[in-house]
Amino acid sequence: MDYTLREWVGLARIHGSIAEAAVAVQARENGVSPEQVRETMCHHLHCMQEAVANGIEENVRSVTGLTGGQAAKLLARLNGGSSLCGGLLGKAETYALATAECNACMGKIVAAPTAGACGILPGAILAMMEEKGVTEAAAVEAMFVAAAVGQSIATQASISGAEGGCQAECGTGAAMAAAALAYLEGGSAQQSADAAAFALMNLLGLVCDPVGGLVEVPCVYRNVGSSGVAFTAADMALAGICCPIEPDEVILAMKEVGDAMPPSLRETGEGGCAACESICARLRM
């Protein structure tokens, strides 16, 4: 199942949408019915909801104590009417952080596409369900659009921070979420592809620099920031702004940038934020 974004857009013309194309391809690859494919994705959606519920708890803490309890603070600000981002994006960011903290605290999450970037897609999908009335069935369809984008990036470049930096993880997560958002708002297959490209373009060059080699700092906070990128990318595409660069070329550019990154900025925990003494000192305490 190795398709470029251009090919997914082409398949959408045959099947009616990228979502339907992804369902058909997955069913054929796995030798199961389309209904079974949808049931599996629905299970993933429920796991995402559970991760948010677990990560939003005020008393959640990771073993190191570096993360946990921060999503609850963001939620309190949102519920208090103080969020600068408003209800939809504010909730997406809160849920993204909750999911990422659930992962850091050894909870069950859905890699979307990886554990380090696990909060961006669920945050966007669940916020759309709660704030814009998106049905569970539509949310599942959007997740297939996201999956198609993730597959395309994984096979043309990488979704591994160790290989391509955090642009390959949070960048891909934002691209997946942006494409899903465009789909949920009635955008065309090409607009979903453009949204993915805009998101990836805006996170190009993002390094992977986990403090202590742990998926905590700065990882969980990048899930929050990447959520904003996903929404703005989708808005641009839905406004009719076409990505000036072919979406698949943006993916290839990401690969080129990742290949050029020094090892210290590719998940080794040696450079960037991982080398900042203030946070390293907390780990030594």
Q: In this predicted model, what pLDDT tens digit does every residue of 227-260 receive, in sequence order?
A: 999 999 999 999 999 999 999 999 999 999 999 9
Q: Is the pLDDT of residue 1 over 80?
A: no
CATH value of 5-284 in 3.40.50, 1.10.4100, 1.10.260, 1.10.1660: 1.10.4100
pLDDT at 285: 78
Q: Is the dihedral of CA 144, 145, 150, 151 positive or negative?
A: positive
Buried b (16+ CB within 10 A) or exposed e, 210-240: bbeebbbbbbbbbbbbbbbbbbbbbbbbbee
> What's the whole-number mean pLDDT along residues 180-190?
98
pLDDT band for 284, please (50, 70, 90 cuts): confident
Percent of the chain with pLDDT over 70: 100
CB 165 within 8 A of CB 207: yes
What does pLDDT average to over the chain? 97
pTM beyond 0.85, yes or no: yes
DSSP annotation of 109 = -
Can you give the residue ranges of every domain in the chain? 5-284
DSSP annotation of 123 = H
